[in-house]
Amino acid sequence: MTRMSDVSKVKMTFYPMAGSVSEQFVNLLQTLEWINSNNPTSAEIRSWLQDTFNLSHYFARDVHTVLLISSGLVKVKNQKSFLTPEGQTVFLTSSPAILLEVFEKAFAGVAGFLEVLRSRDNVTTGKLKDLWFDTVKDRFPQMQGWSKRTFDNQCRHRIDWLRAMGFIETANGKFGLSESGLQFVLKNPPEAIGIQPTEVKREEKELKKFIAQDFRPFDVSVERTQSLRQVYVRDRAFRQIVTIQYDNFCAVCGFKLDSPRGVYEAQAAHIIPKHKRGSDDPRNGICMCRTCHWAFDEGVISVDAENFFVVAASYLKHRTSDASAERLLKFQGKNLREVLNTEYAPSARALAWHNEQVFLG
């Protein structure tokens, strides 16, 4: 059997930051600020952690290796440490929500506790652990090989961090969402936060199978019993396929911009919309910016089904002093941006449906 590397071993354990639960998030931000200002070596970080938080050498090493490096908050280049784009965003915004996204990518199932507590309150520690495991075990098969000690540690560290970020609270040994945690999950379903790249890749393979078949404009096979998580995974896979075909450029106006975290302002617009049972065949999608996506969904603009040029609704012509209307009118007759692979080009059949059923003409 191949020996697991030391790095792989420590990645399995989710270490807390120094201090009590109420201090962990603040202390992490302080650490990120210091690293950002000094670009220290790894040895200097470990020494700073020891001195600042009175940690043992071994605990400082684990906090550095797992919580900072393996989480993706910090990277090392030429023996100097730097904040990653994710680390920069957490540091600059002091946002628990951003930190949760980072942790979910590195430490499986963190957001799963929010899924459990969204519909339950006053849950005992044992019950919370069991419900969490039932929720996430199929998403992360490696969990099923954890020993009881590893499982308990993994749970405790995740729960403590969610408490430190203010998402969950405890009273009399029982757990529930805090008020801020409740508001968070209402706006940000944890099922969407917890999606792993491997899940999206699997779904992408399924959606790409459509390309080898005749285009089907409507999806009549979608089961109503799909879980919320399955819906989010499919939506993300559809977006990934479609936006890549346009290199994240809006196919209408040419807008392309990414955030420091590498997230592009690029959306996958369904030509035949989902609420009309439009399919997730990639040929039923076009990459658009948020504004053009809205205009397309509302029928303010469309794409000619034969020649693939943009058409704008005639009512805009009467708004000669409206800068927003003029912005869309200037795309009238402009060719839609081409896809990288012609097999993924928008379906003329879907565009014809949009011209007839959605476009205001």
The verdict on pTM exceeding 0.85 is no
Domain annotation covers residue 162: yes
| Full DSSP string of 324-352 | HHHHHHTTTTPBPPPPSSGGGSPPHHHHH
CA distance 285 to 278: 10
User: Long-range contacts for 19-28 (Cβ within 8 Å, ≥24 apart)?
Assistant: 19/53, 21/160, 21/163, 21/164, 22/164, 23/164, 24/160, 24/161, 24/164, 25/96, 25/99, 25/164, 25/165, 25/166, 27/53, 28/67, 28/99
How far is residue 73 from each of residues 103, 121, 155, 160, 243, measured CA to CA in Å?
A: 9, 32, 21, 19, 26
Q: Residue 144's domain spans which residues?
A: 107-193
Same domain, 31 and 168: no
Looking at the fold, whether 5 and 25 belong to one and the same domain comes out as yes
77 and 179: one domain?
Answer: no
Number of domains in the chain: 3
In a shared domain, residues 5 and 126:
no
Do 337 and 251 contact (CB within 8 A), yes or no? yes
The per-residue pLDDT string of the chain (361 residues; one tens digit each, 9 = 90 and over) reads 333 333 344 445 678 898 899 999 999 999 999 999 999 999 999 999 999 999 999 999 999 999 999 999 999 999 999 999 999 999 999 999 999 989 988 888 999 999 999 989 899 999 999 999 999 888 888 888 888 998 999 999 999 999 999 999 999 989 999 999 999 999 999 988 878 788 899 999 999 999 999 999 998 765 555 778 888 899 999 999 999 999 999 999 999 999 877 889 999 999 999 999 999 999 999 999 999 999 999 999 999 999 999 999 999 988 878 888 898 999 999 999 999 999 999 999 999 999 999 999 8
Paired strand residues for 303: 310
CA distances from 257 to 197, 269, 288, 292, 327 (A): 22, 17, 12, 14, 18
189 and 206 in a single domain? The answer is: no
Q: Find the CATH number of the domain harbouring 119.
A: 1.10.10.10
Structure tokens at 253: 């106006």
